[in-house]
Copies of this chain bind each other. A is one copy, B any other.
Amino acid sequence: MSAANTFRNILRISVLWAMLPLVNTTDRIQAAAPNFVIIFCDDLGYGDLGCFGHPNIRTPNLDRMAADGQKWTSFYVAAPVCTPSRAGLLTGRLPIRNGMTSPKRVVLFPDSGGGLPAEEITIAEILKDQGYNTACIGKWHLGHLPQFLPRTQGFDSYFGIPYSNDMHANGGVPLMRNEDVIERPTDQTTVTKRYTEAAVEFLKSQDAETPFFLYLPHTMPHIPIFASNDFKGRSSRGLYGDVVQELDWSVGQILQTLRDTGFSQNTLVVFTSDNGPWLSQKLNGGSAGLLRAGKGTTFEGGMRVPTIFWWPDQIKAGSVVTEMGCTTDLMATFASLAGGSIPNDRTMDSLDLTPVLQGNGPSPRKSMFYYTRGELYAVRHENYKLHLRSREPVHYGRPPIEHDPPLLYDVEVDPGEQYDIAEKNPNVVARLKRLIEEHRSGVQPAPDQLAIPL
């Protein structure tokens, strides 16, 4: 090879190198604050994914996400129903602290006048302060009046259905862009597809200089369930399976876009659900697997959700975390990774899970407080869970069943909550009761936002 040829070859390799967007982009963003994506399904049950044990709903993208990421098997939501669960995730606080759980109304409705109070600080606001681009694409359900919509809570833009897709007041379910209704009734057959396209478009519009936060709360698989033509009739599990398989496709699109744009090495993606399966919907609802009960209850099936954290190179592929975590912890975790901090002027319920993601420490979360309808129903500390009251099945018009003495389960030995061991463990019951008293002394219930009329 002549010297000139050698030089030309070196030059060609250099040019090729410079042309590789992935390599350069990755190098550049690696130093910056990480990006965050939350994919939040609606009423997806603990047992509805292949990697969480469903026999025939096909979820190859989520199974691959778990194989490449971290599967959490004791990850909780802040409440077993929609509105308070979302409030908990976005504010890092139990909904009892911001009026987003109520003894009078379970969630917000189209005739509700309330919403997440402006003084509440969301993950989007924390990250906005750190210079992030932010977008909310999907179901909001934290107030549909203009003063409560996503752009008042730190999001640069909004696209989606502002409440549950079974709420049909005034001409059907609205689809909104920012504060405007752009379609009514919404064609729900394409809602997963359109959310996904909007999410992919948002991701592709980002550059490496500015970190981003995408909050993607899907409308599905909440009833009435719909799949697009590409997915309808594709699953052997029926329409519910079709819908979950379209969500799985959506996850695949998001992760592939992150890989294609070179953002994947610097983006933490969290997949989870807002509460357990809506069992009374029968075959249009999902399954909690071996967990007891579902949506609306404070048994494990109502509040433990299938969760995957994904961050290539930062999270050990195929790791499984059986320790506890909660959606309220995402704020402290994201703030820690972004170099920000969580509010210090109010009581928070947000713990930094970074050590678990990085594989260098235990989960800081040792306790969970299970609230619904504005009341504390149960507490878990380490492996023990004490039920003060419960609902199973969910009776909307009726009061809960009071457990006096309380029920005690070891939810590690007995994840299905079948065998009450209170009588044999009076010391554990006493310890958990003290924990409840301690917790209650630190809770100042906020004015009820859900019962405010329009």
Contacts and interface: CB of A to CB of B under 8 A. Distances in A.
Interface of A: 47, 50-56, 58, 60, 63-64, 67, 73-74, 236-238, 241, 282-283, 287-291, 304, 318, 320, 322, 383, 410, 412-416, 418-419
| Interchain residue pairs A-B with the least CB separation, the first 4 | A53-B53, A55-B73, A236-B412, A238-B413
A410 B291 CA distance: 22
A283 B419 contact: yes
A419 B291 CA distance: 20
A206 B238 CA distance: 49
A290 B47 contact: yes
Contacts of A291: 55
Contacts of A74: 55-56
A415 B241 CA distance: 12
Copies of this chain? 2
A312 B184 CA distance: 54
Contacts of A73: 55-56
A171 to B, nearest CB: 33
Contacts of A318: 63-64, 67
A289 B47 CA distance: 8
Nearest to A416: B287
A415 B322 contact: no
Contacts of A50: 320
Given A237-B412, A413-B283, A419-B282, A47 B53 contact: yes
A73 B236 CA distance: 13
22 contacts: A47-B289, A47-B290, A50-B320, A51-B51, A52-B53, A53-B53, A55-B74, A55-B304, A55-B415, A56-B74, A56-B322, A56-B412, A58-B320, A58-B322, A60-B320, A64-B318, A67-B318, A236-B412, A238-B410, A282-B419, A283-B414, A289-B290
B55 A322 contact: yes
The interface residues of chain A, by DSSP majority, are classed as loop
A451 B58 CA distance: 45
A305 to B, nearest CB: 11
A243 to B, nearest CB: 13
Question: Which of A53, A64, A304 has its CB near the most chain B CB atoms (within 10 A)?
Answer: A53
A451 B414 CA distance: 37
A415 B56 contact: yes
Contacts of A320: 50, 58, 60, 63
Contact of A236 (B56, B282, B413): B413
A414 B67 CA distance: 27
Given A67-B318, A318-B67, A53 B412 contact: no
A418 to B, nearest CB: 7
Contacts of A289: 47, 53, 289-290
A125 to B, nearest CB: 33
B54 A290 contact: yes
A424 to B, nearest CB: 13
Contacts of A63: 318, 320
A47 B53 CA distance: 7
A55 to B, nearest CB: 4
Nearest to A59: B320
A95 to B, nearest CB: 25
A280 B289 CA distance: 19
A237 B413 contact: yes
Nearest to A306: B53
A106 to B, nearest CB: 25
A359 B430 CA distance: 57
Contacts of A322: 55-56, 58, 236
Contacts of A282: 418-419
A52 to B, nearest CB: 5
A418 B284 CA distance: 13
A97 to B, nearest CB: 28
